[in-house]
Amino acid sequence: MSTEKIKVLIPQLPLADAILPYMRRIDEKRTYSNYGPLATEFRDRLGVLTGATGVTITSNGTTAIEVALRIRARPGARYCLMPSYTFIASAHAVCNAGLTPYLLDVSERTLTLTPELAKAALRDLDEEPAAVLVVSAFGAPPDQAAWRSFEEETGVPVVFDAAAATTSIKSVGKQPLCVSLHATKALGIGEGGAILCSDESLIERATAITGFGFLGAERVSAIRAGNYRISEYAGAVGLAVLDALPERLAELQRLTDGYRARIGSDKQSRFQEGVGESWLTMTLNVIVPPDAVAATAKRLDEAQVEWRRWWGFGCHTHPAFADVPRADLTTTEAISQRVIGLPFHNLLSDADLDRIVRCLP
Ligand SMILES: Cc1ncc(COP(=O)(O)O)c(C=O)c1O
């Protein structure tokens, strides 16, 4: 008897029936884009959910980062400090904002760039960087207080790539948080993104950049911009997603608890700090000891369990970014091998969880 493969991720968005009442509103109104009523209601409800007083919806998470950096980057400076260990979208967004990534290492404990690592880079660089892009690791809430102090101390503007952290965010300050609403995220609408920020003028400028730079006077382009809006159809999906969010988060909690209970304290594998306690994610990783990586991968493959290194081995290993400047990346090189993304979706049974966890050291 052949064993059925356990897939690593099976995204699930609301079914057509849940979206239909919102689609009917589009039919009645005949507004299809340009910050229409559904996209606006979705934006406002996202603000309530995250505690953000200002929200700009964007076409995806990558454009959210690009727009926030375009506003915050210091004019004339070229480098954006960022961790090499992130999804490659972060590096593309930095370049699309007209900056050059300057790749830094991460902490082994948090898998993120820290203010200490960024300050060390500032000492080594002989020029002031334009900004720092701080990446949330797989949906863990970023340490906003520490980065607020960093910016006060150094003057380097901070932008957060909090792509997978939409449902983990508890408060929002003046440093913009950029999130992804891709189908693979806990709050996924297909394609979409958002900038969350308490700085009203940043949000006003960010919204203008999503719509041809129209700021102040109607149809007058005041700043260089583009078209990064979402359609009303995306707004309809977003509203249906928010309606069902409590049940969805309960499901993510149940799965995370299932994994945590099985791994317990007997195994050497560890989860990211706080996952399942203070935050949830669709990309649940275990971090395995260095000498257990190869055997773990082999056991998962033999048990027909699909797994993934969601962020690969760092941006510096991609040909498109082979020539960008970087600091020492020793921890990135080591830890990126050890972070293993486990299957995570609502079709996993108790027996599946048993089969997966049996493969872990
Ligand atoms: C860390 C990180 N940054 C940026 C992005 C880009 O988001 P999007 O796919 O919505 O453009 C992702 C997407 O997975 C991500 O994981």
Over the stretch 178-206, which tens digit does the pLDDT of each residue have? 999 999 999 999 999 999 999 999 999 99
pLDDT-based confidence at residue 43 (cuts at 50, 70, 90): very high
Mean pLDDT for the stretch of residues 302-318 = 98
- Supply the CATH classification number for the domain 245-357: 3.90.1150.10
Mean pLDDT for the stretch of residues 33-52 = 98
Predicted pLDDT of residue 1: 54
Given the structure tokens 């499901």, which residue do they identify?
A: 251
| Distance from C-alpha of 117 to C-alpha of 121, rounded to nearest angstrom | 6
In this structure, the number of other CB atoms found within 10 A of the CB of residue 34 comes to 10
Q: Is 66 helix (H, G, I), strand (E, B) or coil?
A: helix
> Is the confidence at residue 175, as pLDDT, over 60?
yes
Domain 16-243 part of CATH 3.40.640.10:
yes
Question: Among the residues of 32-136, which ranges form H helices?
Answer: 37-50, 61-72, 89-96, 115-124
For the sheet with 79-83, list strands across it: 55-58, 193-196, 177-180, 158-161, 131-135, 79-83, 100-104
Mean pLDDT for the stretch of residues 271-282 = 97
> Is the confidence at residue 168, as pLDDT, over 90?
yes
**239-272 tens-digit pLDDT:** 999 999 999 999 999 999 999 999 988 899 999 9
Q: Which residue's CA lies nearest to atom 7 of ligand 1? A: 61
| Distance from C-alpha of 89 to C-alpha of 168, rounded to nearest angstrom | 20
> Is the confidence at residue 97, as pLDDT, over 80?
yes
Give distance in angstroms: CA of 60 to centre of ligand 1: 8
Q: Which residue's CA lies nearest to atom 16 of ligand 1? A: 87
Mean pLDDT for the stretch of residues 88-116 = 98
Collect all residues with Cβ–Cβ distance below 8 Å to 273 and sequence separation of at least 6: 109, 110, 140
Share of the chain above pLDDT 70, in %: 99
Mean pLDDT for the stretch of residues 294-310 = 98
**DSSP character at residue 305:** B
Active site residues: 185
| Distance from C-alpha of 180 to C-alpha of 185, rounded to nearest angstrom | 7
> Is the confidence at residue 224, as pLDDT, over 90?
yes
Cα 166 from chain centroid (whole Å): 8
What DSSP element (H or E) covers 255? helix 245-263
Domain ranges of the chain: 16-243, 245-357
> Is the confidence at residue 2, as pLDDT, over 80?
no
**Mean pLDDT rounded to a whole number for the chain:** 97
Collect all residues with Cβ–Cβ distance below 8 Å to 323 and sequence separation of at least 6: none
Ligand 1 binding residues, C-beta < 6 A: 60-62, 86-87, 89-90, 135, 161, 163-164, 180, 182, 193
Q: Is 167 helix (H, G, I), strand (E, B) or coil?
A: helix
